Structure 1
Amino acid sequence: MDSGWMAVWPVGAFFLGGIASQFTGWLNYRRQRAEKVEDDVAAAEQRREDFELSHLVEFNTLLRHRMNCLYQAELAARRYRQADAAGTVTEEHQVELGASLQLLLEAEAEVEAQIGFVLDGQVRTAAQLATLTTVWAAEAISQGTDTDFAEVRSRMAFVYNVLSQRVRDIYASRTAG
């Protein structure tokens, strides 16, 4: 009977070795798939953050340009109103005011087109506030009324802070990860 078991052990060991090898290969495959999924998720998150960062920076730049156009339009409108009050409006005053208002409209369109690319809801809400603020100020300028730039600056400071905080949060999450 011992000789019979002696013949079966090598065959059994061969099959057990094959099963163990298959099981180890399956475990390695599962581990590699899990690592690939983790890498894919990390790469997707990296792409999303890169997209968001580039659009936040672009939005900030466009918003600052919009504010500069707003200030220039206000100055042109003020010069026009002063010349009008003195009865000395020239074609130059009209051209300057028209050109500054046109630049203001173009800057407004650029800012509004960019809002849809702001991913974070809180930042998008702040971006919409910025747009409403600048539209309100632009309407006041085009109607010839004085604009309360202290209020505009206060609202825009809030928006710039929200944008800056989101950029800092994205970079902080990168260094923490």
Structure 2
Amino acid sequence: MDSGWMSVWSVAAFFLGGIATQLNGWLTHRRQRAERAEDAEAGLRSRREEFELAHLVEVNRLLHEYVDTLPPLAGALRTYWIQAPELSISERDAVFPHEAMAATSAAGKAVRSQIGFVLPDDVRSRVDDAYEAIDMASTDLLMNDAGPDFGAMGETVNLAYAALSARVREIYAGQATRGGGRPPAAPPTLRT
């Protein structure tokens, strides 16, 4: 009877060993699949953050360029408005600051073309408000009104710069916490 039990235990051990091997293989497969999914998610998150950072920095730069076109435009238009009453219609067209207007228009179009790529709604809204404020200031300059309210425009634009900078910091703070001790790449420099 002893040899019978030994046979049963041998067969049982064989089956239990097989089950244990299968279970171990299944658990290893699940762990590897979870690691691959986590790696894919991290890669997707990284590409999204790279895309977002590139556009945040680009929109920041373009907003600065748009604002920087206003002083030359204001000076050129001021000169034009002083000279215009004394000139004929053809002479007015010759001295009108077409280049300054074209530079401001091109800078505005560049900002407008990038606003949609700002992913967070609140930041995009701030950038859109800044664009509108700068656009209104350039229109006020052109219309020879009492002049734009550069203080209000500046406040609106500064809110956009602050929102852009805050979002860049959020992305880098998130990378630092996920980096597993690795320092993130240096954040881009934003003009404020």
What TM-score results when the alignment is normalised by the length of structure 1?
Answer: 0.91
Alpha-carbon distance, 1:155 to partner: 1.4
The whole-number CA distance in structure 2 between the counterparts of 1:148 and 1:4 is: 101
Match of residue 93 from structure 1: 95
Q: What are the ranges of 5 or more consecutive residues in structure 1 without an aligned counterpart?
A: none
Q: How does 1:50-129 map to 2 (within 5 A)?
A: 50-84=50-84, 87=86, 93-94=95-96, 97-129=97-129
Are the counterparts in 2 of residues 79 and 93 from structure 1 also a CA contact under 8 Å? Answer: no
Match of residue 8 from structure 1: 8
Are the counterparts in 2 of residues 70 and 138 from structure 1 also a CA contact under 8 Å? Answer: yes
1:10 is paired with a residue whose SS is: helix
Match of residue 148 from structure 2: 147
Code of the aligned partner of 2:109: A
The whole-number CA distance in structure 1 between the counterparts of 2:18 and 2:74 is: 83
Matched, 1:173 2:174: yes
Alpha-carbon distance, 1:19 to partner: 0.8
Aligned residues: 174
2:42 is paired with a residue whose SS is: helix
The whole-number CA distance in structure 2 between the counterparts of 1:79 and 1:162 is: 36
Alpha-carbon distance, 1:76 to partner: 1.0
Code of the aligned partner of 2:176: T
C-alpha root-mean-square deviation of aligned residues, in Å? 1.6
Alpha-carbon distance, 1:75 to partner: 1.5
The whole-number CA distance in structure 2 between the counterparts of 1:159 and 1:72 is: 22
- Percent identity over the alignment is 40
The whole-number CA distance in structure 2 between the counterparts of 1:126 and 1:20 is: 59
Alpha-carbon distance, 1:91 to partner: 6.5
Alpha-carbon distance, 1:70 to partner: 2.1
Are the counterparts in 1 of residues 66 and 107 from structure 2 also a CA contact under 8 Å? Answer: yes
Q: How does 1:157-168 map to 2 (within 5 A)?
A: 157-168=158-169
Q: How does 1:23-42 map to 2 (within 5 A)?
A: 23-42=23-42
Are the counterparts in 2 of residues 111 and 131 from structure 1 also a CA contact under 8 Å? Answer: yes
